[in-house]
Amino acid sequence: MKKMTKIKIRLYILFIIFLYSPPLQAGEWQDAVTAVEKNALQHTADARQTGKRIAQERAALQTQLSQLESETAKAGEMFREMEQALDASMKKEEELRSEIEKQQGENRALADKLRPIAEETVQMFRSSLTLSSDRQEKLLPFTDPDRFPAMTDIRDFADLLFAEMKNNGQISIGPGGFSDQSGHEKQGDILRVGSIAAYFHYGDSAGFLHKDEKMQKLSQIPGNPPRRVRTAIADYFSGKSVSLPLDLSGGMLAAQTGRNSGMGEWLASGGILVWPILAAGLIALLLSLERLWTLGRIPLHTDRIMEKISGFLSGNEREKGKEICAGYPRIPTCNVLRNILHRAGKSRELMENAMEEAILGELPRLERFLSTLSVLAALAPLMGLLGTVTGMIHTFQGISVFGTGDPRMMSGGISEALITTQLGLALAIPLSIIHHFFDRRVEKIVGDMEEKGTALITLLLKG
């Protein structure tokens, strides 16, 4: 095989020489062949050496390839293990994420329940008479809507609650500062009854204090408490008394009782229609007193007078009966009886006509001013309603000009509407009762006149 290769190489070389070499002589040709054979042998040796190196490198590469295949198999196995671990981690991540979302939902629900309670408690703390401003800084996490309170914040919150409970059970007195009604700073003795009430004593003045939520300091409640209240507070500060007026409404009752608005100011806030209502009330009062004086002196039953007249008539002494009736001119029944006695001996019809005539003559005196009281009782609520309409007109006029931003701009019209209605009803209700009372009394007097007159007519006809 190697011999055939050498022959092929020689023929190939000769063919190349033949094609590209110029014509040579015989000796030159032999030298050229020899040189070519040497070169061919050299190239063959080089090729054999190159083949050995290639074989060695191939073996090395084969070894490396085996190692790489082994490493690749190991890497694939590791990759599959890592892939399985990744799948497990992703599954665990989904579970944890679901758990986190569940916990976040519970936290949000807890925050929704806790924050309103905390806000109410914070508001209570802000108006507390015992909680200082530096301690109120611990409440800031509960007022931030974007922050959920941490456990330390909740512990501080609980500490504040316990401290407030402790302070609520203590009564302390000592010097301190507060703002008076004019806004000036004053120094005096301050008494704190827990977080329920606070009092001050400054010179000759004493009164109630409350917590100004904006300024976060004690200030005097506007108004002037009654003298007995101020005296009781001053006596407690001086040690003369152990009792103290207590305001459990947080200062609202003290502010209400300390207002200096009198009856005149209250009536003036009702508008111009208050005065016609008051005038109607004054007229109704005078008429009621007159009716009470007049009708109150008229007896409802005249049985004793009737018995005396019957006794005289049985003895045929009509003139004495007339004298008895004439002795009671203010009693309508006596006037009716006297008028019947003047018709004694006449027919029943004439005596009955005389009775009716006498009754009709007495009715104007009995029913005087009753119709006027009835009109005033009906007119009072109508004037109150007119004041209501007028006040509401003023209110809507104020709204059209100033809007609804300031409620004080509407208070005047609303006060006018409510006060006139209140006065109108306050006048109409008792007037209706009084008119009914007088009307019933007149009915009873008329009934007594009819009863005694009919009895007298019957008695005269029998005699």
Write the pLDDT tens digit of every residue in 88-125: 888 888 888 888 888 777 777 766 776 777 777 766 66
Q: Read off the pTM.
A: 0.49
Does residue 132 carry a pLDDT above 70?
Answer: no
Average pLDDT, the chain: 77
Write down the pLDDT at residue 286. Answer: 95
CB of 380 closer than 8 Å to CB of 277: yes
Q: Where are the domains of the chain?
A: 2-102, 172-252, 274-462
First to last CA, the chain: 194
CB of 190 closer than 8 Å to CB of 198: yes
Which of these ranges, 212-226, 285-299, 400-414, has the smallest mean pLDDT? 400-414
Which of these ranges, 146-155, 232-241, 344-353, 398-407, has the smallest mean pLDDT? 398-407
What is the band of 260 on the pLDDT scale with cuts at 50, 70, 90?
very low
- The CA distance from 153 to 463, in Å, is 109
Does residue 283 carry a pLDDT above 70?
Answer: yes
Which of these ranges, 13-17, 286-290, 434-438, 455-459, has the smallest mean pLDDT? 13-17
- The CA distance from 140 to 136, in Å, is 7
Neighbours of 341 (CB within 10 A): 23
Does residue 293 carry a pLDDT above 50?
Answer: yes
What is the band of 28 on the pLDDT scale with cuts at 50, 70, 90?
low
pLDDT digits (tens, 9 = 90+) for 385-421: 888 888 787 777 766 666 655 555 555 567 777 888 8
Question: What integer is the mean pLDDT of 155-166?
Answer: 76
- Collect all residues with Cβ–Cβ distance below 8 Å to 289 and sequence separation of at least 6: none
Write down the pLDDT at residue 419. Answer: 83
Write down the pLDDT at residue 114. Answer: 67
Write down the pLDDT at residue 374. Answer: 92
Which of these ranges, 23-27, 30-34, 116-120, has the smallest mean pLDDT? 23-27
Write down the pLDDT at residue 265. Answer: 62
- The CA distance from 287 to 66, in Å, is 133
Question: What integer is the mean pLDDT of 246-275?
Answer: 65
Question: What integer is the mean pLDDT of 273-283?
Answer: 90
Residue 120 has which token pair? 């109410």
pLDDT digits (tens, 9 = 90+) for 47-58: 788 888 888 888
Does residue 280 carry a pLDDT above 80?
Answer: yes
Write down the pLDDT at residue 55. Answer: 84
Percent share of the chain, pLDDT over 90: 11
- The CA distance from 352 to 335, in Å, is 14
Write down the pLDDT at residue 251. Answer: 58
Write down the pLDDT at residue 149. Answer: 66
- List Cβ<8 Å contacts ≥24 apart for 37-40: 37/10, 37/13, 40/6, 40/9, 40/10, 40/13
Residue found by looking up tokens 């204090």 in the block: 209
Does residue 145 carry a pLDDT above 80?
Answer: no
- The CA distance from 275 to 272, in Å, is 6
What is the band of 438 on the pLDDT scale with cuts at 50, 70, 90?
very high
306 against 23, higher pLDDT: 306
Which of these ranges, 291-295, 345-349, 371-375, 439-443, has the smallest mean pLDDT? 345-349
340 against 242, higher pLDDT: 340
Write down the pLDDT at residue 436. Answer: 94
Does residue 368 carry a pLDDT above 80?
Answer: yes
